[in-house]
Amino acid sequence: MESTHIGFPIETVLVFVCLSVGAILIDLYMHRDDKVIPLKSAIMWSIFWIVVAFAFAGFLYLHHGLEVASLFVTGYALEKVLSVDNLFVIMAIFTWFSVPDKYRHRILYWGIIGAIVFRGIFVAIGTSLLALGPWVEVVFALMVAWTAVMMLRSGDQEDEVEDYSQHLAYRAVKRLFPVWPKIKGNNFLIKQKDVDEELAKPENADVTVGRTSKAKYYATPLLLCLAVVELSDVMFAFDSVPAVIAVSREPLIVYSAMMFAILGLRTLYFVLEAMKQYLIHLEKAVIALLFFIAGKLGLNATSHLFGHEYTISATTSLIVVITVLVAGVLASYLFPEKKDEEQTSKPA
């Protein structure tokens, strides 16, 4: 693990804040309406976020050197690819809740706001724990390796549909609010008068809201969906944060890399939704990277414990991450899924 000791230089922090806040304000303004984001637009906005991230990487290179810039790009690429698996989970959540396409970017927006807050908390805790000694790195290495093993074991269960009505976040929202079971515009909460108006409609004659007494606010399926997305992302952060911290223990590098990766996820979601069927081997690349990161953490920890000099440099880590990602994409292109071919070859 590299120890760069850049701290929190005010100029670097200001550039990070201005770039990230400015870019997300532009994104929010351009996507302020409830409408489907076309694939072409989603691709262009995904490129926009990558350019913003690499602009910050260029600043780091000019002011802090190649090593710091390499650590940032490695952490950024790692968080980006790990987030792909999380986006596939979010796709399944949206499908289960029957969220219309035009409202999905609204849920993703609030989900990303939550991710920004929780990533900051987890990065602060994780980097502080590493100061306790190399045994913490061993624990982190085991956590990352366990994530990879669980992904391998769940590979045969991709077609199973989870019942999100039993999800902890779903049940927590139902304890706080009665639920109006139908989506009403882009609202997460609706008032009693809205429920009364809906119940007066003939098509809602058989609808129940779970209680006889009136309430000030009712949760809609969009709020239930958002709660499940938020908690799912928090659980995902337990896996991704140790992996990115393995790149560098500098909080500013780790947090900025994760933030620039996360801020582009809203538009990347719509790209992946269209291309999911063509990226069938990308998850294997993610698993390989997790094992690599676990090994990197393990080497660094044993180097401190036993004094050997076998470590993996920032440049090597960057090359490995990029190579594995490219290999996963190329493998998906060269060896596509054969289910459709097999089904069409069967006699009628």
Tell me: the pLDDT tens digits for 215-229?
888 999 999 999 999
Are the beta carbons of 188 and 219 closer than 8 angstroms? yes
pLDDT over 60 (residue 326):
yes
**Across 340-348, average pLDDT:** 43
Mean residue pLDDT of the chain comes to 81
At residue 348, the pLDDT reads: 38
Are the beta carbons of 212 and 182 closer than 8 angstroms? no
At residue 314, the pLDDT reads: 66
Burial (0-12, 13-18, 19+ Cβ within 10 Å), 90: buried
| pLDDT tens track for 142-184 | 877 887 787 777 655 554 556 788 888 999 999 989 888 888 8
**Across 10-32, average pLDDT:** 87
Of the pLDDT bands very low, low, confident and very high (cuts 50, 70, 90), residue 4 is low
Q: How far apart are CA 16 and CA 224, in angstroms?
A: 33
| Crossing angle (nearest 10°) for helices 221-245 and 66-97 | 150
Strand positions, DSSP E, 98-249: 189-191, 217-219
Q: Where do we find the tokens 């710091």?
A: 68
Q: Which residue has the higher pLDDT, 326 or 343?
A: 326
Are the beta carbons of 281 and 325 closer than 8 angstroms? no
At residue 77, the pLDDT reads: 87
| pLDDT tens track for 89-141 | 888 899 899 899 889 988 988 888 888 888 888 888 888 887 777 777 788 77
Of the pLDDT bands very low, low, confident and very high (cuts 50, 70, 90), residue 62 is very high
Beta bridge partners of 191: 217
Least confident of 66-70, 191-195, 308-312: 308-312
